[in-house]
Chains A and B, each alone.
Chain A
């Protein structure tokens, strides 16, 4: 479930990196792990600092209007965190010698981690969904993967050719199937486009408490009645012990039911934030910059002039249209985008 939250898909892919040796373009021999690190090191990042702006080559992910953030990490092995700590007294009672080495966990393979936060939509610019079942999540992921392939197949190939089983990937559909095989559940998504607190599905705590305590209370009362020698429960006519047993069983069932209910409630995805889709985020950055310029330029204008100028502002910048005009992805500001020219 946590793959989907706030109208976004939080995707995590773990792909085993091939063992053995490969060669780079100069014929130098190297491991696939080295090759993938070199390729990733050369992959341009977004134009966000003087250094990257000077290079001028934008991240290939800036060709997507759906990917908020993504990262590649080479996981060479499980991190060794030292011996499992143990109470010294217990260890000595169990006759465990701390000098004897404990087994060390190792991964069978190095892995390439690819994590991406994307709008959970079939087409760029679609509104964010509130809920999305597993099947539709898969369809969204596949559509995104196919689009990624369309726009950056050479880069993806240069990375993934060092991974196991990539030889068979020829088309966008192949790549989508490949990623699907590598997907693992994202257990901790993070979203921060809130402009107001989200409407959460809060638990009806008093009702839940009554539901839980009522059968428990009956159990305790009936048990006490049995202990103090009450012969039969009025109206029911049975011994209180039987009632205690019965209501204990009901209590257990109710508590389990409530537990399932609370967990299920916790599993509900958070609702999408208003304007939390990437085109809206970019458009708001665009509008914010232009509106700041507008406010400064028209400071102190007469109401009539201001009205006319704002009319022209609305016409030029069309706030309702999230797709255009807007700030392109992968740049730090509208001005930076103008300086660096059209984004590839």
Chain B
């Protein structure tokens, strides 16, 4: 029997990507605790406003959400006992900056003493974090997500500003301080984020795209208890685990994303003492990922010329195809696993209504498609050689599905392949783009990208593994040292190969001039406590004995 999760105890940003629930705006605040009493009082005040995972009715759905997390130094400042702090995983204790080398955030060919200024391009707040001045350390993360004020506009509900003012009112120089230093100029006192809006007639609508123009945030994992049973059946398709044809898609164990619950190895994830301070909590990596739109467009223009010449196709088709084969999805989110060629893609677009001449109807069709099982329902064991979705494509790297089944053999379809070697490496992705709408000029120096929050029971086993082994390295995909074509560091390794089905008579295509398209601008690791744990932390009653 599956026991229902205590959704009132779990923070709402764990099961929900708010952007997918009609919250296209976000603000991320980072706070520094000056003294323990003020810190605890702050948590006490904020706690009643925290959005939980409880299911909403149209009446109870909040206009603005609020969630909270703490870094290890933050928990230290709140006076958690040494035994509890020492029981925390070392990745969380280290924080993201100390893990820069394994995450690929530092130069891969430089030793630390020759790379002391490696984070010079980070936002000031993140440069100063964990850099020696405890007054500049990030202790608390607070996120707010807001609904649209009115459909057709690009303005959030006024409650967002009101809640921001309320938060500012709680802060002071001697108690809990709101840290500034966001953006290139460091002028912002929070990190804003928003879906990218597009103009249709006189109205503006949020799109599911990021700044390269690609549809993002599809196929998030589904875990036990996340959805009501009636919705789980559909949601789990392509997003859960596949352990064989007899069982089909099943939700992933809750313990992969929530501490205190059995995980996919049939164990409780390791936690600090006392267990109830960790129960129903999770860990989160906050990463501000800048997108070098200028470089991306330049590289794609050059590569598209080459691809068009070698494959004898028009340049626009070449660009679309190259991007689709780098990502594993066409720019509108249709997977190359189900629409492997440009023609198949166009046919799919016709079929699902994306080529509708009315842009509003086309947008609606896209939203419906992204929500449907069809956008996630595919596996790779029928495409071992990557003729549909290349072995090194972004999608195949971050969620390997059944590609790593030990019995998969090149050139052969494996109908019995499972996601066994993938289900312990899944991550929940939360966040929104930041930067201007799609009419603005964007290059490498303008401020745009994605605020990314990666949630899982183990930063080390899930996020860091995926980042180090699958994004910044390619051995599991027979790609040698080559990194993810979209997210990887391309300072050393600049190639990406697109296999071609020999039946097509076309050779494979090698992209040779990749540059780094996405780079980190800061971030840290946070613990997202349950409502119970927030209470314990606020009252100072965390007792590990």
Interface core residue of B111, B309, B507, B509 (most chain A CB under 10 Å): B111
Q: In the complex, what distance in Å separates the CA atom of A56 from the CA atom of B109?
A: 14
| A50 in contact with B510 (CB, 8 Å) | no
Measured in the bound complex, the distance between the Cα atoms of B310 and A295 in whole Å is 13
Interface size in chain A (residues, C-beta < 8 A): 9
- Tell yes or no: B121 within 8 A of A by CB: no
Which of A50, A51, A53 has the most C-beta atoms of chain B within 10 angstroms of its own C-beta? A50
* Chain B positions within 8 Å of A50 at CB level: 108-111
Distance in Å: Cβ of B506 to nearest Cβ of chain A: 11
- From A51, A53, A292, A299, B310 is in contact (CB under 8 Å) with A299
- Give the nearest-CB partner of A289 in chain B: B480
Q: Does chain B have a CB within 8 A of A206?
A: no
Q: Is the CB of B306 within 8 A of A299?
A: yes
Q: Is the CB of A296 within 8 A of B512?
A: yes
Q: Does B185 contact A (CB under 8 A)?
A: no
Contact with A along B489-533 (1 / 0, CB 8 A): 000000100000000000101101000000000000000000000
Assess the B111–A299 pair: CB atoms within 8 A. Answer: no
Nearest residue (CB) in A for B512 is: A296
- Contact present for A299 and B510 (CB under 8 Å): yes
Taking a contact as CB atoms under 8 Å apart, the answer to whether B510 and A296 are in contact is yes
Interface residues on B, range: 10 to 19
Q: Is B343 an interface residue (CB 8 A)?
A: no
Task: Give the residues in chain B near A299, CB-CB below 8 Å.
Answer: 306, 310, 507, 509-510, 512
CB distance from B485 to the nearest CB of A (A): 15
**Interface assignment of A20: CB less than 8 Å from any CB of chain B:** no
Complex-state Cα separation, A295 to B496, whole angstroms: 12
Chain A residues contacting B495 (CB-CB under 8 Å) are: 292, 296
B267: CB under 8 A from chain A? no
B509 (CB) vs chain A CBs: closest residue: A299
Cβ–Cβ < 8 Å partners of B512 in chain A: 296, 299
Interface membership of B114, Cβ < 8 A: yes
Q: How far is the CA of A127 from the CA of B133 in the complex (A)?
A: 62
Which residue on A lies nearest to B114, using beta carbons?
A: A54
Residue of B nearest to A301 (CB): B310
In the complex, chain A residues 28-57 whose Cβ is within 8 Å of any chain B Cβ = 50-51, 53-54
Chain A residues near B310 (CB-CB < 8 A): 299-300
| A300/B114 in contact, CB under 8 A | no
A275-304: which residues lie under 8 A (CB-CB) from chain B?
Answer: 292, 295-296, 299-300
A270 → chain B closest CB, angstroms: 20
**A48-91 near B? 1/0 per residue, CB < 8 Å:** 00110110000000000000000000000000000000000000
Residues of chain B touching chain A, judged by Cβ–Cβ distance below 8 Å, are 108-111, 114, 306, 309-310, 495, 507, 509-510, 512
3 tightest CB-CB pairs across the interface, nearest first? A300-B310, A296-B512, A296-B510
Task: Show 18 residue pairs from A and B whose CB-CB distance is below 8 angstroms, ordered by the A residue.
Answer: A50-B108, A50-B109, A50-B110, A51-B111, A53-B109, A54-B111, A54-B114, A292-B510, A295-B510, A296-B495, A296-B510, A296-B512, A299-B310, A299-B507, A299-B509, A299-B510, A300-B306, A300-B309
Residue ranges of A at the interface with B (Cβ–Cβ < 8 Å) = 50-51, 53-54, 292, 295-296, 299-300
